[in-house]
Each structure stands twice: as C-alpha cells, then as structure tokens.
Amino acid sequence: MTGDKFWNEKFALGYVNNKSCRSYKILTWYESDADKVGGNKIYEFSSDSWRVLDHVSLDYNIEKNDVSLNGNAYWIAYEEIHTSNEELLLSFDFTRERFRRLCLPTFQNHVWMALSSVREEQLSVLHRSFGASKIEIWVTNKIDTEAALWSISFTVDITIHINSFQFPTSFLIDEEKKVAVCFNLHTTLPLKFTIEKYYTEAPFVETSQVSWTWRPFIFNYVPSLTQIQQEEANEKKETCR
C-alpha cells in the first residue's frame, strides 16, 4: 500500500475482547477516484501492521462520523444503489471483521438524523422531520450482532427555535435526566443547543453561538482508552532539566 494515493479516506476505531486484554484495531476504507471504491484495510495495534480486507465489501454510502460502542463501529448510512431514500444503521464487527446492516427506529420520514451513544451501554438517535418542530431522541433497548431494538427516550417541541435548528450533526444525552447537548450546522451560523426536559412540562432550550468552523462535531472520549505513563513522563522531564 506504500505510495498509493487516495482522494477520500475514512477511519473507525474498534477492538476485540480477548481473555487478557482488548486488542485494538483501526478500519479504513478509501476511494481512488470519484467513481471507484479502492477497498478496505485493517490496522492492528498488536502487530503494528496493515492488511487488506479482500473479503469485505462496502456497498453503502456513509456520510456521517462513526460512533463506537462495545468495540464495534456504527454509522447512519444508505445503500450505494438507491432503491429508496430510507437510511439504515450500519455496523462493523471488529471481531468477525465484517459489516452488518441493522434497523433504525421507524420514522414517518428520514430527513435529519444524528447518531450518538449513552455512556458505553446504548446507541441513541436524534431525529427531526423537515418542517417539524418536534425532536425525538431514541435509545436502544438491545443491540447485538443481528438486530437492534429501539424505544423513544423523550420528545421535545422547539417551536421558537425551529428556524435555527435545521441540520443536527452530533449530540450527547443524559438519558436519566433527559438532557441533550447538540451541534447544529446552519447555513450561515453553527449553534450549540442544550435541550432539557427533566421534571418539567415545557422543555428548556438554550442556544449559544460558536465560532465558525466547518461541520462542528461532538466526540465521545473514553479516558481509559489510553493510559498515560506518569512515572515515565516525570523521568523524561527531570532528564531535560
């Protein structure tokens, strides 16, 4: 693969649960030109090497960033050859090293959606239909290698903010307190929304302006993913003095 150039390359992090520890991997898929998919490959931290996944084909279009849950990666995607406008939940199983197609909640239409996770336990989906003031947030009751079962967590009517909240790109929720923080990509101004529906009939919606950036995004960060060697860092600091 050395020396190859690709105009579009995307990555996803996952792991395999071994008996002694987690074995981390990076999946990447790449395109060599506008009409041809170059392929997929895997990087393994244990061997510090890349290998091509010849047996894996990606027959879906992925436009949004992935969400990692229990070692697997998830995306909102749609079929490469359009038979309908229906979007789906796509997953990559890092143990079996294959893509899986799962179901999303049943919506009247799939206009704007964003995918997130609740701690390291559940997936969540934020959904809003075109022209509607109602936002729905769904969470998974169960998700395994073959199916995903969903239930609605809470619904919020944001009538007074409907013109600003158009393109949700990413969000985080506290499922217990019914609070969501989400970024919205407006045509001229990116906004951060804090939506709260906790022991109240009327939801509390707070907006704040953020500096202009291309597609602001909220990432889920797990501090335990990388351990910082404090003693080694201190020794290097003392050596440099």
Considering 63, 96, 129, which residue would you say is the last residue of a domain?
96
Same domain, 122 and 195: yes
Q: Buried b / exposed e across 204-240, counting CB within 10 Å, b at 16+?
A: ebeeeeeeeeeebebeeeeeeeeeeeeeeeeeeeeee
Rounded distance, CA 236 to CA 16, Å? 33
Structural domain contains residue 232:
no
What is the 8-class DSSP label of residue 20?
S
Structural domain contains residue 235:
no
Same domain, 130 and 190: yes
Q: Are 56 and 92 in contact (CB under 8 A)?
A: no
Provide the pLDDT for residue 227.
Answer: 55
Considering 51, 70, 96, which residue would you say is the last residue of a domain?
96
Domains in the chain, number: 2
Rounded distance, CA 103 to CA 107, Å? 11
Structural domain contains residue 224:
no
Same domain, 180 and 136: yes
pLDDT digit string (tens) for 217-238? 566 655 555 554 555 544 444 4
Residue position matching structure tokens 């910082």? 228
Structural domain contains residue 115:
yes
User: Is pLDDT above 70 for 31?
Assistant: no
Same domain, 133 and 196: yes
Structural domain contains residue 236:
no
User: Is pLDDT above 50 for 26?
Assistant: yes
Residue 36 structure tokens: 């041809």
User: Chain-wide mean pLDDT for the chain?
Assistant: 71
Enclosing domain of residue 19? 1-96
Considering 96, 128, 150, which residue would you say is the last residue of a domain?
96
| Closest to 29 (Cα-Cα) out of 60, 72, 70 | 60
Structural domain contains residue 238:
no
Same domain, 74 and 157: no
Same domain, 111 and 197: yes
Stretch 29-52: mean pLDDT: 78
Structural domain contains residue 174:
yes
Same domain, 43 and 8: yes
Provide the pLDDT for residue 17.
Answer: 86
Q: Are 168 and 180 in contact (CB under 8 A)?
A: no
Structural domain contains residue 51:
yes
pLDDT digit string (tens) for 78-133? 876 655 567 889 999 999 999 998 988 877 665 678 888 887 778 988 887 766 66
pLDDT digit string (tens) for 76-91? 888 766 555 678 899 9
Q: Buried b / exposed e across 8-45, counting CB within 10 Å, b at 16+?
A: eeeebbbbbeeeeeebbbbbbbbeeeeeebbbbbbbee
Same domain, 32 and 3: yes
